[in-house]
């Protein structure tokens, strides 16, 4: 409903209640004043709309007034949350998966690292120099609770 029709109904109901003695006359007069104010605003808006249409028709150089068609839009049905497969939900799922994978990588970096290497070497010199076979074995142990990353390491456990 429009505001002017609501004010008219309110004014009529307050008039009936005033006649019955339920409402003082002041409230009825206030509702009449607000109804008159809304009517004046409505007439002002209608007049400004008519003058704008006349200015538009003069700019368009036509004899008739330009009327804008009003279109009635149909409300779209709401999609249930469980059926919502928007890109945002997929993106958030992917971001959660990436975070979990980063945590797994960080935990694996805290494990000891083993290195084993086999090599064959010779000394520089004569062409028939002796060939040496050898291997190296290395163990790398991270220092967990020393340095700048201590709070981050404690969060992983």
Model confidence pTM above 0.75: no
Structure tokens at 13: 């109901």
Whether the predicted pLDDT of 84 surpasses 70: no
What's residue 157's pLDDT?
60
pLDDT, tens only, 93-150: 899 999 999 888 888 877 888 899 998 888 777 777 888 899 999 988 877 666 666 6
Which residues, in sequence order, are CB contacts of 123 under 8 Å at separation 6+? Answer: 129, 130
Task: Provide the residue range defining the domain that includes 132.
Answer: 107-157
Q: pLDDT band for 17, please (50, 70, 90 cuts).
A: confident
Residues β-bridged to residue 132: 121
What total of structural domains would you count in the chain?
2
Residue 95 counted as domain residue: no
Domain assignment present for residue 33? The answer is yes
Could you tell me if residue 30 is inside a domain? yes
Q: Do the domain assignments include residue 88?
A: no
């Amino acid at each position: 409903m429009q505001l002017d029709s609501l004010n008219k109904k309110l004014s009529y109901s307050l008039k009936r209640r005033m006649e019955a003695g339920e409402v003082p006359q002041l409230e009825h007069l206030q509702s009449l004043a607000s109804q008159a104010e809304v009517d004046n605003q409505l007439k002002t808006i209608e007049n400004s709309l008519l003058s704008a249409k006349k200015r538009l028709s003069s700019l368009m150089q036509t004899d008739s007034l330009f009327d804008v068609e009003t279109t009635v839009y149909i409300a779209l049905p709401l999609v249930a949350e469980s059926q919502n497969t928007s890109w945002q939900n997929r993106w958030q799922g992917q971001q959660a998966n990436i975070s979990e994978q980063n945590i797994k990588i960080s935990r694996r970096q805290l494990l000891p690292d083993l290195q084993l290497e086999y090599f064959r070497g010779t000394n520089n010199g004569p062409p028939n120099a002796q060939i040496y076979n050898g291997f190296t074995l290395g163990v790398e142990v991270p220092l967990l609770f020393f340095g700048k990353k201590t709070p981050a390491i404690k969060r992983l456990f």
